[in-house]
Amino acid sequence: MDFRVGPIADTPERTYSITGVVFHEDYHRSEQMSNDIGIVYLQRDFHLPPMEYPTSRLSDDSLVGATLEFVGYGYNLNSNQQEISVGVKASVKMRVAKADATTFSYSEEGKNTCNGDSGGPAFLANGAGKMVVVGITSWGDLLCTQFGVDTRVDAFAQWISQRLR
């Protein structure tokens, strides 16, 4: 397994060897996944500084209604649910519809994350306009037309910090 960087997954600009992966010990895969978070350890330092993430709890009110930018390499479908591309980095901006203790969801007609986007970031611009990782794409409806769900990074900030090397 390796970690690839660039606009097209099959022809990366940089590749990093992975030395380890840690999954949350309470990860539960079911119809609605829980604790869907993990850390990937690279053999050498990444060529850019790490993205910031919230180290303390965000209020649900600060997330609900906020516009986030979601990035991933998953399926990009047209209005007829036919594949336009897969493996090409894309982004979409959507508003958070609901938030609970460990996840948030979104549902905007004609927009969504899709299969292959899992593990990708959801960015929120902080007060200074700097992009901060607040979510990790987790799951959604089968056809990527109704809703998507992200794991809240702030809910796992302590878990993350305890496992960073």
What is the pLDDT averaged over residues 5-21? 94
Question: What number of residues does the chain have?
Answer: 165
Place of tokens 């993205």: 51
Residues 99 and 147 placed together within one structural domain of the fold: yes
Residues 7 and 72 in one domain: no
Query: Same domain for 68 and 13?
Result: no
In a domain, 42, yes or no: yes
Model-level pTM?
A: 0.90
Tell me the pLDDT tens digit for each residue of 134-150. Answer: 999 999 998 898 999 99
- Taking a C-beta distance cutoff of 8 angstroms, is the pair 148, 106 a contact? yes
The reply to whether 54 falls in a domain is no
Could you please report the per-residue DSSP string of 83-144?
Answer: EEESSB-EEEEEEEEEE-SSEEEE-BTTB---TT-TT-EEEEE-TTS-EEEEEEEEEE-TTS
Q: Determine the Cα angle at 76 with ends 139 and 144, to 5°.
A: 35
pLDDT value of position 50: 87
Q: How high is the mean pLDDT of the chain?
A: 91
> How many CB atoms sit inside 10 A of residue 159's CB?
16
Residue 82 pLDDT: 67
Domain that holds residue 7: 2-49+157-163
Judgement on whether residues 121 and 144 belong to the same structural domain of the protein: yes
Whether 74 and 93 share a structural domain: yes
Return the percentage of the chain with pLDDT > 90, whole number.
74
Q: In terms of domains, do 37 and 105 share one?
A: no
Same-domain check for residues 76 and 17: no
Task: Note whether 77 and 125 are within 8 A (CB).
Answer: no
Q: How would residue 31 be classed by pLDDT, with cut points 50, 70 and 90?
A: low
Residues 112 and 61: their CA atoms lie apart, in Å, by 22
Which pair of tokens denotes residue 16? 């990093």
150-162 per-position pLDDT tens digit: 999 999 999 999 9
Residue 71 has pLDDT above 90, yes or no: yes
Asked, for residue 129, whether it belongs to a domain, the answer is: yes
Q: What is the pLDDT of residue 125?
A: 92
CATH number for the domain harbouring residue 69:
2.40.10.10
Mean pLDDT, residues 119-145 taken together: 93
Which among 161, 153, 139 is positioned nearest to 32, based on CA atoms?
139
pLDDT in tens, 92-117: 999 999 999 999 999 998 899 999 99
Question: How large is the average pLDDT for residues 62-87?
Answer: 85
Based on the fold, state whether residues 73 and 23 are members of the same structural domain. no
114 in the same domain as 45: no
Count how many domains the chain has: 2
Residue 55 lies in a domain: no
